[in-house]
Amino acid sequence: MVNILLLEDEHYTRKFLKKLVSENPSVDKVIDTPSGEEAINFAREHKLDIALLDIELAPEEGLNGILVAKKIHDFNPDIFFVFITGYSQYAIDSFAVHPYDYILKPVKKAKINEIINSLTEEIRKRNIIRRNPEKIKIKDKNEIFMVAPGDILFIEKQDKLNLIHTENNVYKIHQTLSKLAEKLGGNFLRVHKSFIANMDNISRIREVSNRSYVIEFDGYDKVALMSRYKFEEHKHRFAPL
């Protein structure tokens, strides 16, 4: 089952699209809004799998669907974007956020269902992989180490290398932080331009100034840094019960 965000500023079109999407048996929840800013806030507050975004919004918004997608992608790179529009000239611009598909109005029910069914299968496969993540292969001189993602505390960028911190060792790797974050999945948060932290292994977050935080880990004396910007982006994940 998937949760869907629907952004469409025309009232009757939004009602029509919401009805089409809601009738698909793979859909659990549809959150709809006419506002780009509200769509961004909903994407922060809810666990959403797919965003169906109209590109042309009212001029007073100061946003269009592509800009909304870029802002959502910054804090939720896993969401799948599908753009809906009456104008084909936006197609090239929309690929800046790697949309899964691009639909021209008038929207057909068969097309909506085809996309939702296809994405549901993609999400199912991705979740299986994340529940059984592959070990990270790290080559150091004449040895290759196999490191389970769950053993990683955090990853730290130092010059051209990235240091993978585990409780018992620190491994050096040449892959970029962005590639590592993509491979490791949703429990690994980009908390600073130079740090990725494993949510499952964080023991405490301390504010050390009005611009930064320190992240501590169980049984480990080294810490990761978190910027205030990243704290604001991820704070809903740290909210107390």
For the stretch 123-166, pLDDT in tens is 988 787 667 667 778 877 788 888 888 899 999 999 888 999 99
pLDDT at position 189 = 87
Q: Which CATH code, of 3.40.50.1970, 2.40.30.10, 2.60.40.10, 2.40.50.1020, is assigned to 136-237?
A: 2.40.50.1020
pLDDT digit string (tens) for 7-47?
A: 999 999 999 999 999 999 999 999 999 999 999 999 999 99
Task: Quote the distance between the C-alpha of residue 153 and its chain's center.
Answer: 20
User: In the chain, which segments carry CATH 2.40.50.1020?
Assistant: 136-237
CATH topology of domain 2-131: Rossmann fold (3.40.50)
CATH 3.40.50.2300 in the chain: give the residue spans.
Answer: 2-131
- Residue 28: phi and psi, rounded to 5, are -90, -45
Residues 6+ apart with CB under 8 A from 58: 9, 34
Report pLDDT digits (tens) over 42-96.
999 999 999 999 988 888 878 888 899 989 988 888 899 999 887 665 544 555 5
Lookup result for tokens 């490791």:
184
**Residues contacting 152, CB < 8 A, separation 6+:** 136, 164, 165, 166, 184, 188, 198, 201
CA 166 to chain centre: 24
**Between the CA of residue 182 and those of 40, 175, 178, 195, 222, what are the distances in Å?**
21, 11, 6, 14, 24
